[in-house]
Amino acid sequence: MISNPQLRERGLAYFERMFGDGAARMLVADMEDLCPDFTDMSIEWAVGGVTCRPGLDPVTRELVVIAACVTMGHPVTQLRAHTQAALKAGATREQVIEAIVQLLFYAGGASVRNALVHVKDILNAPPPPSDSGNPSPAAAQA
């Protein structure tokens, strides 16, 4: 179903940059015998077409997606992935926690508590070493 190779390449590049080596391949493999069109739509339209739009920096974009996951209350896999992506983009642990806590009134205490529990191990993990030998912005502010 690949309909726009340019959006697909843009989506794949962003996906790999934010979610790590092999993440797009895992998404493709996960859906190939069930609904491969879902993968194509996700990579081309959702990531290549929407996520890669100008106007928001990567940290803000990931915090918005985290907020949506918390409000929905059930997309744990996506909540965890976007928490990792936010940290990789330079968000601090405190920014992620505060973005989740801000939803207390709107999403409810149970959704906020569950979200914090689901990402606790990610937020409490030691920051990975940076490639340059200098700490990442998230590590420097943590």
Q: Give CA–CA dist 116/41, Å, rounded.
A: 29
Q: Give the C-alpha distances (Å, rounded to integers) separating 142 from 87, 89, 107, 113.
A: 11, 14, 26, 21
Can you give the pLDDT at residue 126? 87
Can you give the pLDDT at residue 30? 86
Model pLDDT for residues 95-115, shown as the tens digit of each residue = 999 999 999 999 999 999 999
E strand or H helix at 72, and its extent? helix 58-72
- Contact yes or no for 19/81 (Cβ under 8 A): yes
70 CB contacts (<8 Å, ≥6 apart)?
79, 100, 103, 107, 111, 112, 115
pTM of the full structure: 0.81
Can you give the pLDDT at residue 137? 45
Q: Which residue segments constitute the domains of the chain, with CATH numbers given?
A: 5-51 (no CATH), 58-141 (1.20.1290.10)
Can you give the pLDDT at residue 102? 97
Residue 53 gets which letter from DSSP? -
52: helix, strand or coil: coil
Residues in the chain predicted with pLDDT less than 70, given as ranges, are 1-2, 129-142
